[in-house]
Amino acid sequence: MVDFRSGKGKGMHLNVLLTGRLSGMGHEAACEVMAKRTPSHSPTVFAYSEPVVIHAPADLPEGVYTLHFENVSIPVLHKGVLWLVKAHPAPDAELGKPSVGPPRKAGRGPVMLAR
């Protein structure tokens, strides 16, 4: 596990590297997750926030998965090289519906910047 300490006092958190599991789209796969770990109501209970999927198999199809780590399960969307935490319903473009806004130029946006 890798810990990067930040913050001071009660609200101190650690950025931790955890083992996770992705399930969905007919697949199950191991992955690694970077997340912020904050002490909760007791020294042995932690709250996790801002999870980021890293080191997931490259051959997983795009779509909706569930990310499991440290007794936490959250929906994530695999889109291109990105794994996005789904905090609210997907925009129309992710559901296969035509977008209402102007078309985007190729090479713009987070997916192209991540590559």
pLDDT of residue 11: 59
pLDDT for position 43: 77
Under the phi-then-psi rule, with left for phi > 0, alpha for psi from -120 to 50, and beta for the rest, what region is 63?
Answer: left
Which pLDDT does position 5 carry in this prediction?
A: 46
Q: What is the pLDDT of residue 40?
A: 83
Residue 54's pLDDT is 93
Q: Which residues sit opposite 63 in a β-bridge?
A: 78
Return per-residue pLDDT of the chain as tens, 115 residues. Answer: 444 444 444 558 899 999 999 999 999 999 999 999 998 888 788 999 999 999 999 999 999 999 999 999 999 999 999 999 986 444 444 444 444 444 444 444 444 344 3
How far, in Å, CA of 76 to CA of 49, rounded?
A: 14
pLDDT (0 to 100) of residue 4: 42
Would you state the pLDDT for residue 12? 81
